[in-house]
Chain A
Amino acid sequence: MSAFFKSFAPKSSGDLARIGVLIALAALILFGALRYDNFLSPFNILSFLRYNSMFALIALGMALVIMTGGIDLSVGAVAALASVVSALLSPISWYAGLAGGIGAGLMVGLLNGLVITRLRIQPFIATLAAMLAANGTALLLANNQSVSVSYDTGFTVIGQDDFLGFPIPAWIALAAYILGWLFLERSPSGRHVLAIGDGEQTAALMGLKVERTLLGVYAVSGLLAGLAGVILAAQFGAGQPTEGVGWELFAIASVVVGGTLLTGGSGSVGATLAGALLLGMVFNVLNFENGLGWISLSAYWQSVIRGLFLLVVVVLQARLTSKSTA
C-alpha cells in the first residue's frame, strides 16, 4: 500500500514544480472554456497548435541546453535566419527549403558548441555573439526585407496544411518531443546531459564525454531553431529576417515554468512542453478577452500581463519546492 503511493510521490522538488505547471495549464484551459464561447472550437485549437509549434520546438532545444547548465541566446535569430534561407531555397524544391533551413540552424548550433567546448567561452557570451551574427546574416541574405517563398513546390504545405486533421507543424513538434523524451529519459546520453548539468567536473571524472555531449546539445538546439524557422517561412509564406526577436526569452520562460532549474541538472521534456503551451495559452486567453469587447488591451499591455503571470507561476513554484525540501 505504502509502496503503491510511494511510486506516485514526487522524487525531487522539481517534480512538484512540474505538477504545478500542469495544474496551471489545466486551470487556464478550464477558465477559457467557461468564459469564452469559441475557446474550445476546432478552429481555435488548431490555429493555436499551428502557431505555437514553433515556440515548442525552440523551447525543447533550450530545455536540453539549460539542463546542462548552459543557455542558448541565439535561437530566435537562428529561426529568423533559417526562415530566410529556406525561403530562398524553396523555389528549387520543398525539401531543399526544409534541408536548407535545418542545415543553417545546425551549423550555427555546431559553431556555438565548438566555441563553448573548444575555446571555453561562457555559453551566455558565445550564443550572444552567435545571435548577433545570425541576425546580421539573415538581414544580408534577405536584403533587409522579407523573402517570399515559392508556392509552386509545395513548400508551404509544411506550415499550412493538415495531416489526419491535425496541423503539420504540430505533428513535427509532437515527433520532436517524443524523440526528446526518449532521448532524455531512456537513452544513456540523455542521462549524461543531466549529469553534466549536475557538475561538469564530476561528470568528467566519472568518465563521461563532456565536450562531445555539450557539442551535441547545442547542435540540437540550433537544429530545432532551424526547424522552427522553416515552419515560420512556410506558415506565413515568407522568410522573415526581423522575426524571432525575443523568442529566446520566451523559450527560457517556458523551460523555467516547466520546472527546469537554470542551474542545470534537472528538468523534464514533458513539463517543458506544458510550459510552452501555458505561455502560449496566456496569449490566447488575452486575445479572447479583447474579443469580448469589454476591455481593449494593447500588445504592450498583453506583454506586461504575461510577464506578471510568469512571475506568479515562478514564485508559486519556488514556494512549492522550498516547502518540499524543508
Chain B
Amino acid sequence: MLLSMQGISKSFAGIAALQSASLEIGESEIMALVGQNGAGKSTLIKILTGAYQRDEGTIRFQGKDVSFSSPAESQAAGIATIYQEINLAPQRSVAENIYLSREPRRFGLLDRKAMREGAAKVLKVFNLDIDVDLPVARFNAATRQMVSIARAVTQNARLLIMDEPTSSLDEREVEILFRTIRTLKQNGVAVVFIGHRLDELYAICDRVTIMRDGHTVAVSAMNDMPKMELVRHMLGRELAAFQALARDAGSDDARPVRLELKNAGSGLRVRDVDLSIRQGEISGLAGLLGSGRTETARIIFGVDRLERGSLHFNGSERNYAEPAAAIADGIGLVSEDRKVDGIIPDMSIRENMTLALLPKLKKAGIVDRARQDEIVSRFIRSLGVKCASPDQPIKELSGGNQQKVLLARWLCTDPSVLIVDEPTRGIDIGAKSEILKLLRSLADEGLSVLMISSELEELLAAADRVTVLSDGMSVAVLPRQQLSEQNLLAAMAHQIDGASGELA
C-alpha cells in the first residue's frame, strides 16, 4: 500500500465537508476518484497534500504516518498534484511555471538555459511547440492545462494526483495524457485521477473510489463496477418519500410549447441540445456534472449567447443578448448557488424579495412602499415563508425559506417561464418536498417550469417529462410514463455507449 488515508474528517465553519472519508492506493495503481460536485474529492486531496489541515484521521504514505503542513512538504515527499483550480502563475513564463520551486541551478543561480531547454523538451512529448518564454496567460485553457500536467509529470513523484485534468482538453489531448499516465505507471508511479467523464475513467483506471456527501461510499476494481452501479453510488438515493406530484401521463402533449431549443449550442459545454418546455408543465433537465445543464439554462436566460441552433419563445425566434431581454419576455432564473448569486444576506426579506421588481415599483423615482408591503406579505403568506417579520435579514432564515423568498422574487414579476437550478440543494428533507409541491401548484396555474436537478427522486416525483443531457448533448427525452430510476440512470450513463436516441 503506497497511501492509506483513514477516518478523515474536515469541517469548514462548522459545516462538514468530509466525514470519516478514506482513500487507499497501491503501488503503481491508477485510482479513479469520483463523486458529484461537492462530494469532497478536492478537499480530500488538499488534506493529503497539506493545503488544508484535517480535523481527524490518519494518513500513511510509504509506510510512515505523515502530516504535511504545506504543499511544499508533500511535494518534497514525492507527491505531485494538479489542483482543480488554476495551478499556474499567469504572468510567469511557461518554462518558469514548469520549474517553479525546483529550478535548475548553476552556482546557486537560475540556469535559464537548462530551464528553457528542459521545458521545451517535456512539452514536445505533449505535442506542444510553443514559445516557453511567453507568460502562460497568453495561452488558452487547454494549453495551460497541458503545461500544468507537464509540470506535474516532471516532478519524478511516487504519487501523481490529477483533480479533473481533462475538463478543458479535447480528445487528442486526452489521448496524449493517457499515454503519459500509462508510461508513468510502468515506471512505478501511482496516479489518482479525478474525473466526470465515465468513459475516460474506464479507459485508464485500475480501481475506483466513490465519494458522496463527504463519505467514501464504495471502492472497487474498475471493471467490477458496472456503469449504472457507479452512477447510482454517486447520486445516492434520498430516503424521503416524495409524494407523486406529477400529472397523469398523457395529458401533457396537448399543451402549447412555450419555449423551445433546437440544436442549440454555445461554446464547448453546450453542443447540441433539443429541449422544449410546455405551458403549465415541469420539464426536468437531468445529466451528470459537466453535462451542460447549467450552461443550457444560461443560454435560455441570456447570460451566454446562443451560437448555434435556435431558441423560440411562444413560437417566435429569439436570441437574448443579456438577461434583461429574457426577463422582459417573462423568463426567470433561480440559480444553483443561493449564496453566490442569489440572496443578499444582510438585506431584509422585503428587499431580497422585491429586488427584480424594484424598477416597476417606483413612483416618481421612489419605491412605492405600500405596494411593496402588499406584495411581500401576499407572497410570504402564499408560499408559507416562516419568518418573524418581512424586515428580518434573510440570512437568519433556514435554507428552505431562503429558497422560497428567491422563488417569490421571480414570481412577483409574474413570469411565464421559471428556470430553477437545483432548487432543493442544501435544504432539509421536509422543506424539499414543500418546495416541490409549490413548483407543482405554480405549474398547475400555468407557469412553465424548467427544473434542473441532480437528485433522481426529485425528478421522478415532480417532473412531467425529463430531458437528459450528456456531454453537452440531449441524449434522451423521457415522458412521464417512461420515467423510472432505471431509465434515468441508463440515459445518464449513456455517454459510455456513444449511441443516441434509442430511449427517446
Using a CB–CB cutoff of 8 Å, the interface residues on chain A facing chain B are 11-12, 182, 186-188, 191-192, 194-195, 198-199, 202-209, 265-266
Contact = CB atoms under 8 A, between A and B. Distances in A.
Given A182-B109, A186-B110, A187-B108, A206 B51 contact: no
Given A206-B71, A206-B101, A207-B101, A187 B89 contact: no
B437 interface: no
Contacts of A199: 86, 89-90
A11 B134 contact: yes
B89 A204 contact: no
Contacts of B91: 12, 194, 198, 265-266
A194 B91 CA distance: 8
A203 B92 CA distance: 11
Given A199-B89, A266-B91, A191 B109 contact: no
Contacts of A209: 70, 72
B88 A207 contact: no
B83 interface: yes
Interface in B440-483: none
B391 interface: no
A318 B37 CA distance: 41
B396 to A, nearest CB: 29
Interface string B108-143: 111010000000000000000000011100000000
Contacts of A182: 109
A207 B72 contact: yes
A186 B86 CA distance: 26
Nearest to A265: B91
Nearest to B135: A12
Q: Which 7 A-B pairs have CB atoms at the shortest separation, nearest pair first?
A: A198-B89, A207-B75, A207-B101, A195-B89, A207-B72, A188-B103, A186-B109
Contact of B92 (A187, A198, A207): A198
Contacts of B90: 198-199, 265
Nearest to A204: B71
A195 B100 contact: yes
B75 A202 contact: no
Interface residues of B, number: 30
Interface in B310-346: none
B4 interface: no
Contacts of A12: 91, 135
A191 B100 contact: yes
B105 interface: yes
7 contacts: A191-B103, A194-B89, A202-B89, A204-B70, A205-B81, A206-B101, A265-B90
Contacts of A208: 72, 100-101
Contact of A11 (B75, B85, B135): B135
**Most chain-B CB neighbours within 10 Å: which of A203, A206, A208, A266?**
A206
A198 B97 CA distance: 11
A202 B87 contact: yes
A190 to B, nearest CB: 8
A205 B71 contact: yes
A265 B89 contact: yes
**Most chain-B CB neighbours within 10 Å: which of A12, A186, A204, A207?**
A207
Given A188-B110, A202-B86, A208-B101, A195 B92 contact: yes
Interface in B65-86: 70-72, 75-76, 81, 83, 85-86
A191 B135 contact: no
B103 to A, nearest CB: 4
B96 interface: yes
Contacts of B87: 202, 205-206
Contacts of B100: 191-192, 195, 203, 206-208
A285 B87 CA distance: 48
Nearest to B107: A186
Contacts of B112: 186
Nearest to A194: B92
Contacts of B92: 191, 194-195, 198
B66 to A, nearest CB: 16
Nearest to A12: B135
Given A11-B133, A191-B103, A207-B101, 10 more contacts: A186-B110, A187-B108, A188-B110, A191-B96, A191-B110, A195-B89, A195-B92, A202-B89, A206-B100, A209-B72
Contacts of A187: 108-110
Contacts of B71: 204-207
Nearest to B74: A207
A204 to B, nearest CB: 6
A21 B135 CA distance: 22
A11 B90 CA distance: 13
A247 to B, nearest CB: 28
Nearest to A195: B89
A204 B51 CA distance: 8
Given A195-B100, A209-B72, A202 B108 contact: no
Nearest to B51: A205
Nearest to B46: A205
Nearest to A263: B91
B164 to A, nearest CB: 15
Contacts of B110: 186-188, 191
Contacts of A204: 51, 70-72
Contacts of B88: 202, 206
A207 B89 CA distance: 12
A120 B202 CA distance: 45
Nearest to A203: B89
A191 B83 CA distance: 21
**Most chain-A CB neighbours within 10 Å: which of B71, B83, B89, B110?**
B89
A49 to B, nearest CB: 29
Nearest to A208: B101
A206 B135 contact: no
A200 B31 CA distance: 30
Contact of A206 (B89, B105, B108): B89
A124 to B, nearest CB: 22
Contacts of B108: 187
A202 B86 CA distance: 7
Interface in B368-414: none
Contacts of A205: 51, 71, 81, 83, 87
A233 B134 CA distance: 45
A266 B96 CA distance: 14
A209 B100 CA distance: 11
Contacts of A186: 109-110, 112
B12 to A, nearest CB: 16
A191 B89 CA distance: 11
Contacts of B85: 202
A203 B89 CA distance: 7
A75 to B, nearest CB: 25
A324 to B, nearest CB: 12
A235 B83 CA distance: 54
A11 B137 CA distance: 12
A12 B96 CA distance: 15
A205 B82 CA distance: 9
Contacts of B72: 204, 207-209
